[in-house]
Amino acid sequence: MEKINSKYLIYPKEPQAPKGTTKLKLFYTNDWHGQTDNMGGILGASLQFDSSTKGQNVDTLKLIAGDSWSGGNTKKNNLILNLMNYMGFDACAIGNHELDAGTKSFIDTIKGTIGTKFVTSNIKTQDGKSLEGTVSSFVKEENGNKYGIIGLSPIDLKTVVAVEKIPELDVMGFEQTVENTQAEIDKLRKQGVNKIIILSHIGKDLDEKLASQLDGVDIIVGGHSHDKIEGVKEGENLVRSKSGQPVVILQTGQNAQNYGILNAEFDVNGILTCVSNSVIETNRNKNSIVERIKDSEIGSSPAVGTIKEINPMPENRKITPSAWTGMVADSMCKALNTDIAIINSANIRKVPQIGKLTERDVEESAPMKNELIKTQMSEEQIVSAIKDAAQRSFGSVDSYPGLLQCSGVKYTIDSNGKLLHLSFVDKEGKETVVDVNNPSKTKMYTVALDSFLANGKEYPDMMPKGEVEKFNFDKDKTMIDYLKSRQDKDELIIKDDGRLKIVQTSEPQQQRNNTRNI
C-alpha cells in the first residue's frame, strides 16, 4: 500500500501516542445504468470479496455511487435493488437515473427495502423535507469502528432528469451543497465518528473541488462523470481537504464494466495513513444465475434472433462509430418510412453479446424511453446538427454531448470534430454528395428521431421547425420488429459498415470545455 506523506497529516497540538491502526477494505462501484449482464460480473466479484475478507482482522464496506438502474422499467429496477441487497451493499447514492421513472416510482421501489440504504443530503422536497425512504447520512459500525457515510446527488439533477418527473424535488447548488455537507460531517463528528466517506454522484471535477472546501472527509466514492480512476496518485485522486488532510477520490467508470477495491488504514485520529486502490474489469458474460433471476422476477423474454458476429460496445460510445447503433437507426428509418434516422450516440447503453438475442437484450440497449417523431428537415439543418454535435463532442473533456449516428447519411470527420465529407444515401444505396460548407436551405428530407433529440436541449439544431408526427413507442420496438423481419435473423452479422468515419488530423487539438456526463 502507498503511504501518505506524513507532513500533510493533521494532529492535535499535543500528538497522542498511536493506539493502533484501523484497517478498511472497501468494495465500490458506480453508474451501473441497469446493465444486468455486467452485473453478473459484479455479483461474482462481490461473492469473492466476501470470501477473501472472511476471518480477516479488517473492516469491510460495500458502496454504490448512484445510477444503479436506468429507465422506467419498475420491475427491472426492483430486480436490481434485490441484487444490491443480496450482494450486501451498505448504501447507494441517489443519481439521476434512480429518478428516471419519477419521484413516486422511486419511493415505491425502495419502500420497505431491508439492507441497502439510499443516501442524499442535497435533495429536498419543496417543503424542505428529506426524500421519503432516504437518509442524508448514517453511521455504519464495523468491529467497534464507526464510519460516517454521506450521500450527494447531481447538482444538475433538474437538467438531466425531465422536470415533469420530479416537480416536487429541489437540489442544492454547489456552494449550498458544500455548506450542507460540512454540517453533516460536523454532526457525525459530534457522535464520535472520525472516518467519513462521501458517496457522491456529482462528477470527478466537482468531487475534487468539494474535497478542497471540506474539513473531515477521508474518502469520496464518486460517479456521474464515468471516470475510471486507477491507483492512487498525489494531486489527481489523492487531494487535500481544507485543513490539509488527505482525501482519496474513487470511481470505476460505467455500465458495471469495472468494480473497485480500496485498502485503507487510519490512525487513531481517523486520518488516512496508507492506501491502495485497484479497479478491476468485470466478467461481462451473461451470468446464468442472474438470467434465471431475471426470468423469474421479470418474466422470460422471447428470442428475436441469434448474433453470429458483432462489434462490441466502443470504449467511448459517444465519439466512436457503433454498428449496433447504426442498425437501430436503420430500424427507425424502416418503421417510420423516412429518408433518414438520427440517434445521439449516448442513447445506446448496451451492445448485445454473441449468441441468443432476446427482446429484453434489445430493450436494455436503449433503456431511456422516448417517443419517436417523424418530421421534415432541410439539408442545411441536418448538416448543421452533425457539425455542431461533432465539434462540441471532440472539444469537451467528457465527449459531451456525443456524435449523431444515422441511417441514410454517411459522413467523415477528423479527430477534432471537423466535418470533412457528407453524403445522403437513398433506399437503393445511391449516394448524393453534399457541399458541407454550403448545404441547401430548401432541399428537404423526412427524418425519424426521438423526443429527446427533438426537445433541442442538448442538440439545438435537431429541434423540428415544422410539423411533426408522433408515435407512442421508442426505438426498442422498431429494432425488435426489424430484427424479426430479417431473413438472416438466425445468423446476424452486425459489423461497422463505414457510414461514420473518423480520421486523425495533425492540426492542434481544440480547447476542451469542462462539461458533464450523464
For residue 504, which phi and psi values (nearest 5 degrees)? -75, 145
pLDDT value of residue 397? 81
What's residue 518's pLDDT?
A: 43
Q: What is the pLDDT of residue 138?
A: 97
C-alpha cell at 360: 429484453
Grid cell in block for residue 430: 445511391
Helix-strand-coil percent breakdown of the chain, rounded to 5?
A: 30, 30, 40
DSSP 131: P
pTM, rounded to two decimals: 0.80
Q: Specify the amino acid at residue 318.
A: K
Q: Please say whether the beta carbons of 275 and 220 come within 8 A.
A: no
pLDDT at position 232, please?
95
Per-residue pLDDT, 28: 98
Residues whose CB falls within 8 Å of the CB of residue 359, separated by 6 or more in sequence, listed in order: 301, 302, 303, 304, 480
- Residue 225 phi, psi (nearest 5): -95, -5
Q: What structural domains does the chain harbor? A: 19-281 (3.60.21.10), 301-503 (3.90.780.10)
Please tell me the predicted confidence (pLDDT) of residue 181. 98
From first to last of its 518 residues, what are the pLDDT tens digits of the chain? 666 654 434 333 333 434 578 999 999 999 999 888 888 899 999 999 999 999 888 999 999 999 999 888 888 899 999 999 999 999 999 999 999 999 999 999 999 888 999 999 999 998 888 899 999 999 999 999 999 999 999 999 998 898 889 999 999 999 999 999 999 999 999 999 999 999 999 999 999 999 999 999 999 999 999 999 999 999 999 999 999 999 999 999 998 999 999 999 999 999 999 999 999 999 877 777 778 888 887 888 999 999 999 999 888 999 999 999 999 999 999 999 999 999 999 999 889 999 999 999 999 898 888 899 999 999 999 999 999 999 999 998 889 899 999 999 999 999 999 999 999 999 999 999 999 999 999 999 999 999 999 999 899 999 999 899 999 999 999 999 999 999 999 999 999 999 999 999 877 665 544 444 44
Query: E-assigned strands of 363-457?
Result: 372-378, 404-407, 409-414, 419-425, 431-434, 444-450
Cell numbers 429518478: residue:
99
The pLDDT value recorded for residue 294 is 81
Backbone angles phi, psi at 117, to 5 degrees: -90, 145
Tell me the β-bridge partners of 240: 246
Contact present, 496 and 321 (Cβ < 8 Å): yes
Q: What are phi and psi of 408, to 5 degrees?
A: 85, 5
* Residue 93 backbone dihedrals phi, psi, to 5 degrees: -70, 155
Quick one: residue 188, left, alpha or beta (phi over 0 = left, psi -120 to 50 = alpha)? Answer: alpha
Question: Within its chain, how far is the Cα of 221 from the centroid?
Answer: 14
Contact 302, 483 (CB under 8 A): no
pLDDT at 509: 64
Please report, as a single letter, which amino acid is at residue 239.
V
CB of 158 within 8 A of CB of 115?
Answer: no
Burial of 433 (0-12, 13-18, 19+ CB in 10 A): exposed
pLDDT score, position 473: 95
Query: Phi and psi at residue 476, in whole multiples of 5°?
Result: -65, -40
Q: What is the pLDDT of residue 10?
A: 38
Per DSSP, helices labelled H in 140-237 are: 157-160, 174-190, 204-213
pLDDT of residue 364: 87
- Residue where the block lists cell 481537504: 241
Query: How many separate helices (H) and strands (E) can be counted in the chain?
Result: 12, 27
- Cell numbers found for residue 397: 473533456
CA pair distance 372, 374, nearest whole angstrom: 7
Quick check: bond before 18 cis, omega within 30? no
